Structure 1
Amino acid sequence: MSGEPEPGLQPDPLRPGHEQGDPLMVTVDGQDFRVQARPGAAGTYDFDWLSGPHDYGFGLSRSDGSMMSRAEMEAAIREFLAEIDPATGYLAE
Structure 2
Amino acid sequence: MKAIYPDSGEGDPEAVPGVCPETEGAAGVGSLTLRVDGELFALSPNEFGGTDYAWLSGPNPGYGFGVSPTPNLSLDGHTENIRGFLAQVDPATGYIEDE
Structure 2 SS opposite 1:25: strand
Are residue 82 (structure 1) and residue 87 (structure 2) matched? Answer: yes
Are residue 52 (structure 1) and residue 58 (structure 2) matched? Answer: yes
Instruction: Supply the distance in 1 between the matched residues of 2:89 and 2:34 (Cα, whole angstroms).
Output: 18
Q: TM-score, normalised by structure 1?
A: 0.70
- RCO higher in structure (CA 8 A, sep ≥6): 1
Q: Over the residues paired in the alignment, what is the CA RMSD in angstroms?
A: 1.3
Moved over 4 A (4+): none
**Alpha-carbon deviation of 1:21?**
2.1
Q: Provide, for residues 9-52 of structure 1, a one-character-per-residue CA deviation record: whole Å limited to 9, x for no partner.
A: xxxxxxxxxx42221110000000000011x432x110000000
> Which of the pair has more CA radius of gyration?
1
Q: Identity over aligned residues, as a percent?
A: 39
- The gaps in structure 1 that reach 5 residues or longer are 1-18
- The gaps in structure 2 that reach 5 residues or longer are 1-26
